[in-house]
Amino acid sequence: MTSSERQLRGRLGGFALAAKRDPKVYSAPARAAFMDKFLLQVDSDGALPPPERERRAAAASKGHFSHMALRSAQARRKNKKTAKD
């Protein structure tokens, strides 16, 4: 099976699961664990008040995804340039 075929099979499985169950329910533990990473990053000792801690964690999360978007754009630009050469 090729990489693209595996990707399509995975996508089909995801859609089949989402058609039967609410994705927000079965992905809640994963999303909570992911946010915990940022909560620990901004306030590892728990000294901040909860609203400030959550605000900072949300900012850290946005920064993380912005950094990934930048790296993705750089990689696409590099790949596009390589394909032209």
pLDDT of residue 81: 82
pLDDT tens for 20-50 read 999 999 999 999 999 999 999 999 999 999 9
pLDDT of residue 82: 84
Could you give the number of structural domains in the chain?
Answer: 1
C-alpha 39/C-alpha 24 separation (Å) is 20
Residue 47's domain comprises 3-84
pLDDT tens for 19-28 read 999 999 999 9
C-alpha 58/C-alpha 54 separation (Å) is 6
Asked if 39 contacts 57 with a C-beta cutoff of 8 angstroms, the reply is: yes
- Residue 84 confidence (pLDDT) above 80: no
Which of 26, 48, 29, 30 has the alpha carbon at shortest distance from 39? 48
**Mean pLDDT value across the chain:** 95
